[in-house]
Amino acid sequence: MKAAVYHGANQPLTIEDVQIEKPGPREVLIRTSAAGLCHSDLHFMEGKWPWPAPAVLGHESSGVVEAVGRDVTYVKPGDHVITCLSVFCGHCACCLTGRMSICEGTDVKLPPGVAKRLSWKGKHLNQYLNLSSFAEQMLVHEHALVKVTKEMPMDLAALIGCGVMTGYGAVVHTAKVRPGSTVAVVGCGGIGLAAVNGAAIAGAGRIIAVDKDPSKLELAKKMGATEGVLAGDDAVKQIMEMTAGGVENSFECVGLKQTAEMCFAMLRPGGTATIVGMIPMGVKIELHGPDFLRERRMQGSSMGSNHFRVDMPQLIEFYRQGRLHLDGLISSRIKIEQINEGFAALARGGVARNVIMFA
């Protein structure tokens, strides 16, 4: 099969002929339909997070089941599915207490380099986040996917697999935004826009979008933002004045130290800042200690604290009702041979999601 191979940080991906194993027990072979280019992939490509090379990256995808291994009961060939990096075991302490997105079961959430599902030139090829969706086929555990209706467009379904689930879930599940509350979302890429849309679905009274790109702020308003603020040195001051003392919930959707600190600074007493973006390894966030005396909080969110087999079908229903605005999230549809150009555009900014479409 054709796949984009990662050779190490700050090196271009190359399109190669890669071999994939047949499905073993509990495994599912998927023909990839669409794969989104997520900023998380870019973090690994730029060396901000480590991953062993060579590997096939990609984790936001949809496809059609081609074959299933022994003991698979959830899907059958022909089913349409969305993949999710939140593969769950179902029996660890996190799963049993309803926190499947942070499952600790290493029998399904295999550490880097452990899965022996891919090979290239006769040698082992590392799988990425137990998915590796920048390829014509994927071989995954059955707990890494969810069945979806065949009426759902596959390019839009792929977006739900990471970006939409992450942004929406951070608002609805992690922060539990209440109707009528005031929300600020810092960073209006794919995840930030999904957070804006999630806040609208949750019934937030004011939704303030913050970004350095005016066109992103306009797009955020189409997703449900009530106001927009250009990112800059005075953004926190503007928001404090606009809200007469700060927001109840803020969401960091960029992955930077300064925007994380900004999100905490714009909180009203009792407010909560939720960090959604992937802040680079080794970076520390600095906060003023006295602020905690006013019961301000900062928390993390992993993949929107999802229960993806329940959440993703619900998101598709929201899309069908016109409440989840997926169509505006796709900046362009590209071929796998254009993947480096797609990531270059993502690095420059101004892009929500580029999506690879497979034949």
Radius of gyration of the chain (CA): 20
Contacts of 144 (CB under 8 A, 6+ apart): 83, 84, 85, 86, 87, 108, 130, 131
* E strand map for the chain: 2-6, 14-17, 19-20, 27-36, 55-56, 60-68, 80-83, 118-120, 123-127, 137-141, 145-148, 182-186, 206-211, 227-230, 247-252, 267-275, 297-300, 330-334, 353-357
Has 162 been annotated as catalytic?
yes
Neighbours of 312 (CB within 10 A): 24
Contacts of 278 (CB under 8 A, 6+ apart): 39, 40, 43, 48, 49, 255
Strands 137-141 and 55-56: unpaired
- Of 40, 101, 181, 301, catalytic: 40
- Of 89, 92, 103, 162, catalytic: 162
How far apart, in whole angstroms, are the C-alpha atoms of residue 285 and residue 169? 23
Has 141 been annotated as catalytic?
no
- Of 7, 33, 39, 43, catalytic: 43
Has 59 been annotated as catalytic?
yes
- Cβ–Cβ under 8 Å, residues 276 and 166: yes
- Of 38, 95, 103, 188, catalytic: 38
How far apart, in whole angstroms, are the C-alpha atoms of residue 220 and residue 191? 11
How far apart, in whole angstroms, are the C-alpha atoms of residue 309 and residue 307? 6
Please give the positions annotated as active site. 38, 40, 43, 59, 162
